[in-house]
Amino acid sequence: MKPPHLLLPLLSLPFTLAQQLQQITNFGPAIPSKAKMFIYAPADLPPNPAILVGVHYCTGTAQGYYNGSPYKRLADEKKFVVVYPESPNSGGCWDVSSRATLKRNGGADSNAIANMARWAVKRYKADKRRVFVIGESSGGMMASILAAAYPDLFAAVINYSGVAAGCFFTDSVAGWNGNCSGGRMDSTREEWARWVLDAYPGFKGTRPRMQVYHGSVDDVIAPANYNYSIAQWTTVFGYPETPLEEKRDVPERGYTTQVFGKRLTGIWAEGVGHGVPVHGEEDMKFFGL
């Protein structure tokens, strides 16, 4: 979540900039979610490019995330396509709380985003091993759900200041789970893993590589959420709870990178609040772009 003032400069942007971001209206079968799809593709794409899905925070828009995050610039530099979904819900948060969104092909926002990714893969004949998701805050929560419900579609997922899949469950659309945001959950490791396993029952393939950032003084999504997510994904991957490797001051001073296994890295940002600053270059490294 970003303070609303960050969105204001967007309103005065020259129209030419807005034209670079294109809306796609027919990206998949009709489903209940009315999420919108926008896309940015650099002119000189190589064959079989990578796709990055960039999921905005609450109060966000596709245009806002396009302007305010580094991924458009990085796409120009490294030649990949960026899909910018836009939330249909009032307040601009994603539905990360309904039963439908927590299920594969359940018809809710997560399903709409998966359809956008599928559309882009087809349209650009993308390299299926390089379809990635990045999300911030509410978008980070969505990233966890996409990883859980569409492990076959996404190769790697990065999540800034989000929550574990299922943590925000309220059984209502785009609800706010205060127990989750407040860090007052007492789920076991198995209960955390269950949300992921139930999102796509019977899935036996390779799951996406995951990277999780969380700030130690996050006052919107309590820091305990870092632990929930580590509990969730270490259990799913069958990794030990304690990191195999801990790198201090990586990727920058005050941050600690914890490697739990080949597919899971956590980054604990000491003294950082909600909305850990985006580390675009690091993200590219993680994705191998």
In the residue annotation, 137 being an active-site residue is answered as yes
The residues facing 219 across adjacent strands are none
- Site size for ligand NAG (CB under 6 A): 23
- Our finding on whether 97 is near ligand NAG (CB under 6 A) is no
Both tokens assigned to 6: 């960050």
Q: Which residues are CB-neighbours of 23 under 8 A, at least 6 positions away?
A: 36, 37, 38
Query: CA–CA separation, 134 vs 72, rounded Å?
Result: 13
Could you say which of 75, 157, 193, 289 contacts ligand NAG (CB under 6 A)? 157
Could you say which of 87, 229, 235, 257 contacts ligand NAG (CB under 6 A)? 229
Of the candidates 33, 87, 110, 137, the residue annotated as catalytic is 137
DSSP-derived pairing of the beta strands 36-40 and 22-24: antiparallel
- Our finding on whether 232 is near ligand NAG (CB under 6 A) is yes
Could you say which of 67, 179, 187, 256 contacts ligand NAG (CB under 6 A)? 179
Query: CA–CA separation, 126 vs 207, rounded Å?
Result: 19
Q: Which residues are CB-neighbours of 191 under 8 A, at least 6 positions away?
A: none
Which residues, numbered 135-154, are part of the site for ligand NAG (CB under 6 A)?
140, 143-144, 147
Could you say which of 210, 236, 278, 289 contacts ligand NAG (CB under 6 A)? 210
- Shortest Å, Cβ 48 to ligand NAG: 25
Residue in the block written with tokens 């956008």? 116
Query: CA–CA separation, 83 vs 6, rounded Å?
Result: 21
Query: CA–CA separation, 268 vs 60, rounded Å?
Result: 24
**CB closer to ligand NAG, 33 vs 144:** 144
Residues near ligand NAG, by CB under 6 A: 140, 143-144, 147, 157, 159, 162-164, 170, 177, 179, 210, 212, 214, 223-229, 232
The residues carrying an active-site annotation are: 137
